[in-house]
Amino acid sequence: MTAVVIAKMLDYKRKDIVVNHRLYAGQMDDLLDVIQELNHKLERVMLVGHNPELTELAHYLSTEITHMPTCAIAEFTFYAKSWSAIGKSKPDQVTLDYPKKS
């Protein structure tokens, strides 16, 4: 599982990984629903999934992102009071990085 590999590299505890099957083979709306339903106590989250859904979500959140190549990481910073507000306004900061970025 990709999330386990990433967690290990970030020294994140495997037991803290939450698997949500809506992240795999779902629609972009499913991914947004997962975000909007997050516990308000969480300050940061990382979604690990696949394309085309992640690219669609990234583009929905910021039109600056039109494609996420293999192993891409998109970071969005929102100053929102709750996760339910995500997607209703533009992010304050957007970063896209990937291994073969020139």
Domain boundaries, the chain: 22-97
Predicted local distance difference test score (pLDDT) of residue 102: 62
**Dist CA 82 CA 14 (whole Å):** 25
pTM score of the predicted model? 0.85
Query: Nearest to residue 73, comparing CAs of 38, 44, 49?
Result: 49
- What sign results for the dihedral spanned by CA atoms 11, 72, 96, 57? negative
- Bond prior to 52 in cis (omega within 30° of 0): yes
In DSSP terms, which residues pair with 26 in a beta bridge? none
Q: Per residue in 13-60, pLDDT tens?
A: 888 888 888 888 778 999 999 999 999 999 999 998 888 999 999 999
